[in-house]
Structure 1
């Protein structure tokens, strides 16, 4: 009898849908499938999704990926799921969701986040720039203050990834990864800052967090029998603790050693530096201990709106302007034909606020410099450049604080466009490496599953064995010199417009 190949599954529940990857232990992807789910925007700045939509998409994506891989149920050693960061799910006593989940990009908790920042508690040491309204604790406080009936009904508060793991296994846990980088947990040597929670009005809230806080790659337990049948998996398949999508992507990019930096692109962009230093960087989040690799730290800088801006353009204008060509390809081609600087247009990428380095969710998008010379293609070019300048703003913050970044390892939507990758490389002056498996988040979850199944000693060993490089984009120094003054215009535009945006967001008269 021919021996079967052991396989693992990574399940990425992202902003737009679920993606499942089936991989062998050498890093060869055997099958991949995706299923979309919708987002609703009931009010300006709000964003919600239905957990039932996640679960339907997850089951369908896993079943199709297993079928495409030609895998027998008993071939699947383990499965691990990641989810969007700080997507809040309130569960009742029976573990059923109470209403829609509050999606990561939702900014309704800005006031709660500002109050937390102002309290100056020692628990805020890893977010000196300010508490993000995207994080879980401001959202839970918002629920208490604005929807007390939901808050009172909620027995448990969990992340998207924890909910998916619960549905897979029947065991309710909380991932140390997301608890450390989004819930103020102190890592392996720390714990919950209960005095801080009491200070902000959430005394006793940890009783509504799952008691079992597990490290990335820790086994949760066997898959629930009915789920195994629904997904086409064997009943001995192990469910392994996952985490926040971008942090799991670090594993899929082999960014598991100090000095390496991940560049995760998609609806939002993230720059994640692995470091062995516990030094804070003003304007960035972290360093978060133990949230990916035990004993190491992650520094985080991110943009709330990046790929989502490009998608917005596509949805409203891209198809109409594509003239029969693939809309995204047509958009990138037309934008590439516009000169650097978009003939004087300057845009801001703060369409859902700014995460880093300003941590200001009252900021909004903007574009100025318009004349009758400009076309829609100029506007698209300026919007795309604003995304690259937002990334550069984070990299400049790292450089100003003696955190060396010599290269970026990228994944996500941007890697499908050489134009976008080249722009980021030129603006930053850094080479950008792209691995062979560009869907690094789902692939990272597959690597995490392999570690949980015992196939490798730890995440660094597994990532080194399973990840390989595809190509590198080198920066063009001449183009970089032309981008540099426009980047300074970008920063000056923020400084000039921030007071107006703050006044508008808070219902105050415009400053004169």
Structure 2
């Protein structure tokens, strides 16, 4: 990194773009964030405009650079992390042919079922069906349902691939995305014939970016046009990144077997590393090379956690919004204050957190959210707390499935937006009954992408070495043993809800107009 002392990380999430300027010792010098919306033209659908991603990425980078007060020559390299299984159909020049199909979109249920019937889930999703969240079912949906778009599509790719093309002019795919959402497996020679053969996938493979790169490989130099837009130096190395949650795991130094990462945000993701290939029941993976070459990534999670809390704030928190406006504070400040006074268990309310289907351990796209136990004595605060508790119960279920099958150190490391809520995190710790360790960097994905960029430009030999120098863990939040004991009854009610209502939920989801 001769003459350059900083790394630039770009994170494209579900609700906005963020950029961060980070030093080689892991100090986050400056960040800048923007926000956008998700379009839902039909129930279960979620779309975004890729051109909006670029506009917001430009704004975020320029804001972070201005906040850092450094020149373009100070940036040694940059790396991008994004949502995954967010599918873009484009021309070879990068012009999108339709809105991007977002990761949380569940329209490709039939295609996922076709892949499951063909045996595609073997080695990837344990004993569960292929998920409609994944990228390949969405690609198949475009091919099956939008023939005109498919005929014009020259490149079909993920969000990160599209953004890297805007930066470099080159079409590549990160192995992180390819392995986690498109069935790529380096131990089986790459794109497996067992998956793509039964679906006549040759026309899909022909449209994928031609190069699959390891996390930390240099894609190429920043183009002049991209550099001018971003306010950076032409030729700045662009390093291949990872799935946003996987980058956040790097930002928590979960890059070897032992600790478990809990990534909070629009969704919740649980990540663990293992050196042994194979699959675990009720979880996804192991995905080959998805974070560290030669290791396997195990993933579980919940599909719409922060998103459903945001939905509650927008749709149902009228009284709290009015009070927040009167006091000049955020609505969440009011809700957290009020919910802190609600007893454990929300006085009989139980929330099933399947608002956008279930990711794991059930992998059920037909599952939907449930709030039961409502009485006339319940307030906004009760419902809000019950949402936080329901999410915590879901996380506990996922971690329980993981811990019963994979030896871990028992340490849970947490990052993401909801980690800033002391109430939410205390509920999470109390439900789990284990301490939560937080990274000092507020946004783990930015720190993780910066560490990956540092590897790409040669500051460190590998991601493990980068995290040793750049990742600094901070506060440890202890559970309350009495609260943990009190939560057991309510957690059991949560676990009983999905089996009791599964057929009803499936029938309702399948017969919606």
Residues 94, 166 of structure 2: 8 Å contact kept: no
Q: Is the 8 A contact 1:63 1:231 kept in 2?
A: yes
User: Equivalent of 1:365, from 369, 372, 375?
Assistant: 369
1:18-57 matched pairs, under 5 angstroms? 18-57=17-56
Q: What are the residue-to-residue correspondences of 1:349-428 with 2, within 5 Å?
A: 349-404=353-408, 406-428=410-432
* Alignment pair present for 1:492 and 2:496: yes
Name the counterpart of 1:156.
155
Q: Is the CA contact (8 Å cut-off) linking 1:188 and 1:290 kept in structure 2? A: no
Contact 2:40 2:46 survives alignment (8 Å): yes
In structure 1, distance between residues paired with 2:118 and 2:187: 25
3-state DSSP class of the match of 1:363?
coil
Name the CA distance, whole Å, in 2 between partners of 1:487 and 1:123. 31
2:223 maps to 1:219: no
Q: Report how many residues are paired.
A: 506
CA distance in 2, matches of 1:122, 1:352: 21
Q: Which residue of 1 aligns with 2:277?
A: 278
Following TM superposition, by how much is the alpha carbon of 1:188 offset from its aligned partner in structure 2, in angstroms?
Answer: 5.8
Partner Cα distance (1:273, 1:402) in 2: 9
2:454 matched to 1:455? Answer: no
Deviations 1:240-275 (A, max 9, x none): 101210011111111112112111000100110112
**1:443 match:** 447
Match of 1:295 in 2: 294
Q: Pick which of 191-200 and 22-31 moved more.
A: 191-200
Q: What is the distance in 1 between the residues matched to 2:157 and 2:498?
A: 35
Q: Quick one: distance in 2 between partners of 1:356 and 1:46? A: 19
Compute the displacement of 1:45 (Å). 0.4
Whole-Å separation in 2 of the counterparts to 1:429 and 1:158: 41
- Which sits farther off after the overlay, 292-301 or 126-135? 126-135
Distance 2:4 2:185 in 1: 39
Aligned counterparts of 1:424 and 1:115: Cα–Cα separation in 2: 37
Q: CA–CA distance in 2 between the matches of 1:336 and 1:131?
A: 39
Deviates more, 1:369-378 or 1:398-407: 398-407
Aligned-pair Cα RMSD in Å: 1.6
Correspondent of 1:346 among 350, 364, 371:
350
CA contact (8 A) 1:222 1:239 kept: yes
Q: CA deviation at 1:127?
A: 4.2
SS of the counterpart of 1:300? strand
Matching residue of 2:5: 6
Shift of 1:142: 0.9
Kept after mapping to 1: 8 A contact 2:388/2:427: no
- Structure 1 length-normalised TM: 0.96
TM-score, L = length of structure 2: 0.96
Rounded to whole Å, the distance in 2 between the matches of 1:81 and 1:435 is 20
Q: Provide Cα deviations, 1:390-430, integer angstroms capped at 9, x if missing partner.
A: 10110111122243351211111121111111111111111
Cα pair 2:257 2:408 within 8 Å, conserved: no
SS of residue in 2 equivalent to 1:414: helix
8 A Cα contact 1:141 1:201, kept in partner: no
Indicate which of 435, 438, 442 corresponds to 1:434: 438
Aligned-partner Cα distance in 2 for 1:25–1:131: 39
Equivalent positions of 1:92-107 (< 5 A) are 92-107=91-106
Name the structure 1 match of 2:199: 200
Q: SS where residue 311 of structure 1 aligns?
A: helix
Is the 1:11–1:442 contact (alpha carbons within 8 Å) kept by the matching residues of 2? yes
Contact 1:117 1:124 in 2 (8 A): no
What secondary structure does 1:264 align onto? strand
What's 1:210 paired with? Answer: 209
Any conservation in 2 of the 1:17–1:36 contact (CA below 8 Å)?
yes
CA distance, structure 2, for counterparts of residue 125 and residue 267 of structure 1 = 23
| CA deviation map 1:155-204 (0-9, x unaligned) | 11111111111101111101101101110001366310134223124333
